[in-house]
Amino acid sequence: MAYVIAEPCVDNNDQSCIAVCPVDCISAVPGVDRKFYIDPSNCIDCGSCEQACPNGAIFRAEALPPEWAGFEWVDATWYTDPQQARAAIEGAYARSA
């Protein structure tokens, strides 16, 4: 299991989580991605990012609120098919004007 970044990160870019991750497994492409993504194959479950996130966006995968359960798939998919992960975010969350 890994940690997962859910809906509150969409269009928030403070990056507090990245600063504390000891294995650099949180990524996004600036100007392209609307959220950050945790690599489930490298996350060591330390929990530091969950504590650091000011928006309450990060959860253990098994503790995700039901309405955000799909973000486990989104984060994992971004590392193999980022376009598919981005499409899921665009489809679910309209950009503000």
Residues lying near ligand SF4 in the complex (CB under 6 A) are found at 3, 5, 9, 12-17, 20-21, 23, 25-26, 36, 38, 43-49, 52-53, 55, 57-58
| Residue placing its CB nearer to ligand SF4 in the complex, 14 or 81 | 14
Residue 60 DSSP symbol? E
Smallest distance, Å, CB 44 to ligand SF4? 4
Two structure tokens written together for 97: 């004007």
Q: In whole angstroms, how close is the CB of 64 to ligand SF4 at the nearest point? A: 13
Measured CA to CA, the distance from residue 53 to residue 49 in angstroms comes to 6
- Whether 71 and 62 have beta carbons less than 8 Å apart is answered as no
